């Protein structure tokens, strides 16, 4: 009797969701890879793009603009503790190793390259590592564990976030159908942090400058987003990420004003002021 190969079942599910009416998170088999730094460049004034390569990138999968990987770093005493493959999952050591989570900005399977855009800020573990990284340096990458698959059947898309969400928003705009309509709001410090975006003609991109306010402070993002009017009868998908407290009003707006079903929006706190290695799932 022949055995059924289930290794690529997730690809069938991704295709089903993409062709459907509502978004859904789909899991992928999770790998752990030893990658090599190929290059580090600045993107605008606020992002460090680390391109990773090497033979271990073979088989890496990327299917969703908001999917993420974990970069694993040595513990403070220099010990590097890595998860181990466990079927389609990973078995993580306890306590958890030192890691930081980032969006997959770009994956080029032909070149064997993975781009990770890291928001530059003083004292950040990954930010400091990226500034000092040199070609040939090794960093272990875990994931992605899956991604949010959003159909292209919505009438409009609303994307919003701060600079930590910019890599995902940039990829969103690249991967939307060129016929898509909607809005993208990105809060940055000033014009120097703006980057070139490949948005469909029907998507209005608005940069919001916070000026002298600290990152994660102020209500400019929530004010701009909640001023949007969705045409009556149209289906909208809302994706928001950024500082947890700053985006909280948008959770209420989506629920109480737009009256969206849970499957029609995704709002995620990527970080929280004063909290290192914030994980929304832990709160």
For the chain, list the domains and their CATH numbers. 8-147 (2.40.30.10), 154-271 (3.40.50.80)
**pLDDT digits over 15-38, tens only?**
999 999 999 999 999 999 999 999
Answer with the residue of higher pLDDT: 217 or 273. 217
Q: Is the pLDDT of residue 206 over 50?
A: yes
Please tell me the distance from the alpha carbon of residue 14 to that of residue 27, in angstroms, as a whole number. 9
pLDDT category, 8, cuts 50, 70, 90? confident
pLDDT at 273: 80
pTM of this structure? 0.93
Strand order in the sheet with 113-119: 98-103, 68-73, 138-142, 32-43, 47-53, 113-119, 106-108
pLDDT category, 182, cuts 50, 70, 90? very high
Please tell me the distance from the alpha carbon of residue 65 to that of residue 175, in angstroms, as a whole number. 8
Q: Is the pLDDT of residue 126 over 60?
A: yes
pLDDT at 139: 98
Whether the Cβ atoms of residue 116 and residue 144 lie closer than 8 Å to each other: no
Provide the mean pLDDT of the chain: 93
**pLDDT digits over 53-87, tens only?**
999 999 999 999 999 999 999 999 999 999 999 98
Token duo for residue 60:
């890496």
How many percent of the chain have pLDDT more than 90?
89
Q: Which is it for strands 202-209 and 181-188: parallel, antiparallel or unpaired? A: parallel
Q: Which is it for strands 98-103 and 68-73: parallel, antiparallel or unpaired? A: antiparallel
Name beta bridge partners: 84. 91
Please tell me the distance from the alpha carbon of residue 256 to that of residue 258, in angstroms, as a whole number. 6
Whether the Cβ atoms of residue 23 and residue 266 lie closer than 8 Å to each other: yes
pLDDT category, 3, cuts 50, 70, 90? very low
**pLDDT digits over 223-278, tens only?**
999 999 999 999 999 999 999 999 999 999 999 999 999 999 999 999 888 776 66
């Amino acid at each position: 009797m022949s055995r059924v190969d289930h290794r690529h079942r997730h690809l069938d599910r991704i295709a089903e969701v993409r062709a459907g009416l509502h978004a859904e998170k789909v899991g992928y088999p999770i790998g752990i890879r030893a990658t090599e730094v190929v290059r580090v460049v600045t993107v605008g004034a606020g992002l460090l793009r680390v391109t990773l390569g090497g033979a271990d990138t073979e088989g890496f999968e990327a299917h969703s603009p908001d999917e993420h990987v974990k970069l694993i770093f040595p513990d403070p005493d220099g010990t590097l503790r890595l998860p181990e493959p466990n079927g389609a999952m990973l078995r993580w050591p306890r306590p958890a190793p030192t890691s930081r989570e980032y969006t997959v900005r770009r994956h080029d399977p032909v070149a064997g390259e993975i781009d990770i855009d890291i928001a530059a800020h003083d004292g950040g573990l990954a930010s400091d590592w990226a500034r000092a990284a040199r070609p040939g340096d090794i960093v272990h990458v875990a994931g992605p564990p899956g991604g949010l698959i959003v159909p292209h059947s919505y009438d409009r898309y609303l994307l919003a976030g701060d600079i930590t969400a910019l890599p995902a928003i940039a990829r969103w705009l690249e991967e939307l159908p060129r016929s898509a309509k909607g809005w993208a709001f990105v809060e940055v410090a000033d014009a120097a942090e703006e980057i070139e975006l490949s948005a469909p003609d029907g998507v209005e991109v608005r940069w919001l400058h916070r000026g002298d306010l600290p990152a994660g402070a102020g209500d400019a993002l929530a004010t701009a987003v909640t001023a949007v009017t969705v045409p009556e009868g149209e289906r909208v998908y809302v994706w928001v990420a950024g500082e947890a407290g700053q985006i909280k009003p948008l959770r209420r707006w989506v629920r109480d004003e737009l009256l969206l079903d849970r499957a029609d929006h995704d709002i995620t706190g990527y970080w929280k002021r004063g909290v290192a290695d914030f994980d929304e799932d832990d709160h």
